[in-house]
Chain A
Amino acid sequence: MANLKELASRKELLTGGHRMCPGCGAPIIVRQILLASKDPVVVVAATGCLEVSTTIFPYTAWNVPYLHNAFENAGATLSGVEAAYSAFKKKGKISQHVNFIAFGGDGGTYDIGLQSLSGALERGHDLLYVCYNNEAYMNTGVQRSGATPKGANTTTEPAGKVRQGKVEWRKDLTEIVAAHGIPYVAQSIAGNWADLTKKAEKAFSIRGPKFMNVLQPCRLGWGYKPEDTLNIARLAVESCVWPLYEVENGVYKVNSKPKAKKPAADFLKTQERFRHLFKPGNEQLLIEIQTEVDRRWEALVAKEPAVRTGA
């Protein structure tokens, strides 16, 4: 695995001068994943914060070939790019290996783009799909998505007098993707460069479809100070709200098992979107959330192959 000095000697593939919010986690994820590639990269982005903010004509922050098509079709669009590459390779028009990467937000991945993603995975294209998951439609002003966690305040499922933000549990997209039986699936975060770049390197070393679901705190939609982006993501891991794990050829590996698991509330209370949960009367909701975090964590750990103990 490349250390920071090695990574720092590589070319910066996402320039500054993009229009993402100060402290946004998405460009951090993108920079780290691009830096992890030793081979040339071609990128397709789904419509979303990342796409609009990095490519306002005539300015593009991408130092790699880049295509935006629409919102729900990054998987299919990148399938087409990769299909053209395969056709050209067969004809001897190109020989160099290329890493094909799609970046989509949770809206473009969990919701409107799920079919396109699923198709691309099922067809076996050699590509990496990265979901920069900020758990709502941030680009259009913090509307709920299938990735929004229960209890979060969003503009389309706000906290009010009789409802406490999102009523439903978020869908587990990483597991849905893993059910496709593709060679590599991982969860990571903005805030652990070693975990993220290691997983990206591993993804690039595997042929076939790969998927990474990367939790990306959003200072605007989650409500916190911009400098806290990375440590809030780490809190999500330390509280087991967002476990770091990978599924390689069907084999689960949990990458980080906190010795002392922090309460989910430690993560929740750092953000405005959960503030109403700490008002008197919502104690039961906090318990429900903690119970669900525990249930999902235990279910995940149970998927790991049994470790042989000595003797």
Chain B
Amino acid sequence: MNGKPGWRELAEGDVVPAGTAEQFETGDWRTERPTWHPERCIQCLLCWISCPDSAIVVKDQKMTGFNYHHCKGCGICAKECPVKPEKAITMGPER
């Protein structure tokens, strides 16, 4: 409890600015870790649209990797990856 703001320091009501969860780490929940294999990636973006944690980093409409600060390692991205025979995202144990 120490170090948190006292009641006078909090904004009136029960209000925060948008998007503050960005700062909260959920990456430490991971037991499985996704790895991206760019050489196999077809840039279909299905991993991105399917991620529950907004943790696929897309730049200029292209998949560029993972936000490991937020990724919980659910494996949906690897499961949804349509690339065959070897997927462009694979799961392995978190180190």
Contacts and interface: CB of A to CB of B under 8 A. Distances in A.
A4 interface: yes
A22 interface: yes
Given A8-B48, A227-B78, A230-B76, A62 B54 contact: no
Interface string B37-53: 00000001110111111
A124 interface: no
Given A15-B19, A60-B16, A60-B19, A193 B49 contact: yes
Name, among B22, B45, B78, the residue most crowded by chain A CB atoms within 10 Å (CB to CB): B22
Interface string A2-15: 00110111001011
A17 B21 contact: yes
Interface residues of B, number: 39
A22 B72 contact: yes
A17 B24 CA distance: 5
Contacts of B88: none
Nearest to B73: A22
Given A5-B45, A8-B58, A28 B18 contact: no
Interface residues of A, number: 42
Given A16-B22, A17-B24, A32 B49 contact: yes
Contacts, number: 122
A277 to B, nearest CB: 25
A26 B81 CA distance: 20
Contacts of B53: 16-18, 20, 22, 27
B14 interface: yes
B10 to A, nearest CB: 9
A58 B16 contact: yes
Interface stretch (A63-71, A79-87, A141-149): A63-71
Contact of B22 (A4, A15, A31, A227): A15
A216 to B, nearest CB: 10
B18 A227 contact: no
5 contacts: A16-B70, A17-B26, A57-B14, A227-B79, A228-B79
Interface of B: 14, 16, 18-26, 29-30, 44-46, 48-55, 58, 61, 67, 69-76, 78-80, 91
Given A4-B49, A23-B74, 17 more contacts: A8-B48, A8-B58, A12-B54, A15-B21, A15-B70, A16-B21, A16-B22, A17-B24, A20-B53, A23-B72, A24-B74, A28-B76, A57-B16, A59-B21, A60-B18, A227-B78, A230-B80
Interface of A: 4-5, 7-9, 12, 14-20, 22-28, 31-32, 35, 54, 57-66, 193, 225-231
